[in-house]
Structure formats: structure tokens, C-alpha cells
Amino acid sequence: MQWIMLAIAICLEVFATSMLKLSEGFTRLWPTVAVIVGYAVSFYLLAQVVKVTPVSITYAIWAAAGTLLVVGVGVIAYHERLTMLQILGVVLTIAGVLLLNLGGASHHGDVETSADASPRFPQPVTRTKTISFISSS
């Protein structure tokens, strides 16, 4: 189920990003609403997915797939051209996500993936500083 939610989050992020151009700098109401709602629901779904999947892999997939799809939207819908350097960037993006996933497969048991898992962050150190004002008379 989490992978379906991730796919929907990616599609909504791509939709919202594509609407940015149509919003004309947030001067057109409905494309602006589409951007805000699309990103909000996308991030909500992403937050639900990372409750049960490793955040590093999930975010890498979300960001890379979104980037690749937005490149596709730019080429198809907005007739943008890609240079060879940009095509290389797309290929390297795909390679990076594949490597992250392959590298995570051998250590998958090391990652807590239950819904109750919470990261163990060090507690912040609280330091207080006393300032006294001495009057010299």
C-alpha cells in the first residue's frame, strides 16, 4: 500500500510542479490553487509513506521520479528541448536511484520499518547563560 501512496504522491508533485508554469508567478487563481493543493497532498502522502519505509530511499525515489517526470512534461507539454548534458543528468539520476536501492537491499534488515519506529535522535543540550548587569557608581 505504501508504494501506491508513493506513486500518487509523485504524480501529485509532478502535477503541482507542472502547474507552476501555468500559474504565471501565482497570478492566476486556479493554477495557483492546483499548485498549493497538489504539493500539500503530495507531502502528506510522502509523510505517511516514510512512517513505514526508509526515508532515504523513499525520498530518493520520490525526488528522482518527480524530476524525471517533470522533464518529460517539459519536453512533451511545453516543447522544451534537452541538451546532451541534460540527458546525461537524467541518466545519472536514474543510475543514482538504482544504486541507492541496490545498496539498501543488502542492509534492509538493519532499518526499522514498523509504524511504531521512531528515529533515535540525541537529546539537545540545554545551556543557560546568566547575564548580570553590574552598575559602577
Nearest alpha-carbon partner for 6 in 52, 60, 63, 49: 49
- How much is the pLDDT for 130? 54
Angle at 46 (CA atoms; ends 41, 49), nearest 5 degrees: 130
Residue 10, Cβ neighbours under 10 Å: how many? 21
Top-confidence residue, 125 or 82: 82
Q: What is the pTM of this model?
A: 0.71
Top-confidence residue, 113 or 23: 23
Banded model confidence at residue 68, pLDDT cuts 50, 70, 90: very high
Mean pLDDT of 54-80: 92
Nearest alpha-carbon partner for 21 in 104, 63, 64, 80: 80
Mean pLDDT of 18-45: 97
By the 10 Å C-beta count (0-12 exposed, 13-18 middle, 19+ buried), 93 is classed as middle
